[in-house]
Chains A and B, each alone.
Chain A
Amino acid sequence: IVMTQSPATLSVSPGERATLSCRASQTVSSNLAWYQQKPGQAPRLLIYGASTRATGIPARFSGSGSGTEFTLSISSLQSEDFAVYYCQQYNYWPALAFGGGTKVEIK
């Protein structure tokens, strides 16, 4: 299964909304997670089950979608939100797969 994220790079001004997309080559139901990774750091779980925020994740992060099309939205981008975001499907086991990532950069 292939996970495709778009765009590869998203330029956004602080305070604006960012919308990231993730597409699966086959349906993954709602078995999708989103991670944030900053330079030199490990990934951090943001969303699982396509739309459930992980513990401690601010409400400005929201996930939606099911089947093959998923979206991560970040309302009102803060400086600490500029990072690379990865989606991961966990419907097919043991063929876990991550998307190629979307870099959110300051416009």
Chain B
Amino acid sequence: EVQLLESGGTLVQPGGSLRLSCAASGLTFSSHAMSWVRQAPGKGLEWVSAISASGGSTYYADSVKGRFTISRDNSMNTLSLQMNSLRAEDTAVYYCAKDPGITGMTRHFDDWGQGTLVTVSS
């Protein structure tokens, strides 16, 4: 059974930084692209960032480009999201999500973590 467990969410001040992690188990982590998807309180889903299976390619939504950095450690089965220059509008539950494609990217998501809440407020 695939398990994705996010951590690192907390209250942070505007302009601050935060690093989220997602620990993966029950899958061949190095074979799957991964993404971060967020959901503001009471709102819909927003794709944030993706990384290829090897980690060699990264992609970002315009809303976070230049502020967020996605990375992965395939030896530790861990996905990360470094978030800098945080804004109030970044407040959301952040989910890590697995792409079902093997080595390639299908760009939809068949497994999700339970999410970690990031609150940006003074």
Q: Are A42 and B113 in contact, with the CB atoms below 8 A?
A: yes
Q: Are B112 and A54 in contact, with the CB atoms below 8 A?
A: no
Q: How many residues of A contact B (CB 8 A)?
A: 24
Query: Interface digits, A37-72 against B, CB 8 Å rule (1 contact, 0 not)?
Result: 100011111001000001100000000000000000
**Distance in angstroms between the alpha carbons of A98 and B50 in the assembled complex:** 15
Q: Are B44 and A98 in contact, with the CB atoms below 8 A?
A: yes
**Distance in angstroms between the alpha carbons of A99 and B115 in the assembled complex:** 20
Q: Are B107 and A96 in contact, with the CB atoms below 8 A?
A: yes
Q: Is the interface of A mostly helix, strand, loop or mixed?
A: loop
Q: Are B108 and A33 in contact, with the CB atoms below 8 A?
A: yes
Contact of A98 among B46, B107, B112, B114 (CB under 8 A): B46
How many residue pairs at the A-B interface have CB separations less than 8 Å?
Answer: 54
Q: Are B107 and A93 in contact, with the CB atoms below 8 A?
A: yes
Residues of A within 8 A of B95 (CB): 42-43
Residues of A within 8 A of B46 (CB): 98
Known A-B contacts A42-B115, A94-B50, A94-B60; the reply to A86 vs B45 at CB < 8 A is yes
CB closest chain-A residue, reference B105: A93
Within 8 A of B (CB), among A57-107: 86, 88, 90, 93-101
Known A-B contacts A94-B59, A94-B61; the reply to A45 vs B108 at CB < 8 A is yes
Q: Are A48 and B108 in contact, with the CB atoms below 8 A?
A: yes
Contact of B110 among A37, A54, A94, A98 (CB under 8 A): A54
Known A-B contacts A42-B113, A94-B50; the reply to A99 vs B44 at CB < 8 A is yes
Residues of A within 8 A of B110 (CB): 45, 48, 54-55
Query: Interface digits, B82-118 against A, CB 8 Å rule (1 contact, 0 not)?
Result: 0000000000000100000000011111101111000
**Distance in angstroms between the alpha carbons of A33 and B101 in the assembled complex:** 14
Question: Which of B106, B107, B113 gathers most chain A CB within 10 Å?
Answer: B107
CB closest chain-A residue, reference B115: A42
Q: Are B47 and A96 in contact, with the CB atoms below 8 A?
A: yes
Residues of A within 8 A of B107 (CB): 31, 90, 93, 96
Partner-A contacts on B (CB < 8 A): 37, 44-47, 50, 59-61, 95, 105-110, 112-115
